[in-house]
A = this chain, B = another copy of it.
Amino acid sequence: MDKKKIDANAFVYPMPMVLVGTHYQDRPNFMPVGWINRVNFNPPLLGAGINTRHTTAEAIMDTEVFSVNIPDVTMVKVTDYCGIVKGKNVDKSDLFDIFYGALKSAPMIKQCKMTMECKLYQKVEFPTNTLFVGEIINAYADESILTDDTPDIKKLKPFTLTMPDNRYWTVGNELGEAWNIGNEMKE
């Protein structure tokens, strides 16, 4: 076999980068999270795998709500900064303009052109991380990133993360339509 066994932790596919917003001791706090994805279609649930020692984990357990904010490529430095300094030690609430929706302890970031406010639906505890499963109560977008009322990634310009090489990446070119371009392989 021409395959080489590598570190089982060498997890490379591009992960979405978002900023998770919480209230830590009544102060808005933000943490970049790459281990996040949808886990259920209806109701719309997403799961964020967060190291249980993080301030954000403590805050979600306390308030049972959080926000998910999608930064764009112009926000890569401030997003990274939020992952370098600890919310317990540094007040990050001045880094962004903040707004709230229906959930009073889920601060959202105006500079992020797409945001979601989530209610904690379930906590799944693993050895080092907790998967915080949130129900998306409301999603918000700037008009400027919508095409036919749907968020358009070419306008949103988010970025992704690879680990363990720890690099950020832009989104590239469109390759085709899902659940469609494979049709030509049907006999």
Residues of A within 8 A of B (CB): 1-16, 18, 34-47, 49, 51, 70, 73, 76-85, 99, 110, 114-116, 122, 124, 126-129, 131, 133, 136-143, 146-147, 149-153, 156, 158-186
> Are A43 and B127 interface neighbours, CB within 8 A?
yes
B residues within 8 A CB of A166?
177-180
Shortest distance from the beta carbon of A55 to any chain B beta carbon, whole Å: 16
B residues within 8 A CB of A139?
5-11
> Are A129 and B44 interface neighbours, CB within 8 A?
no
Of the candidates B12, B42, B184, the one whose C-beta lies within 8 Å of that of A77 is B184
> Are A169 and B175 interface neighbours, CB within 8 A?
yes
Seed contacts A39-B131, A124-B124; 11 additional CB < 8 Å A-B pairs:
A3-B99, A3-B115, A5-B138, A6-B151, A8-B136, A11-B139, A13-B18, A14-B158, A80-B181, A81-B185, A84-B182
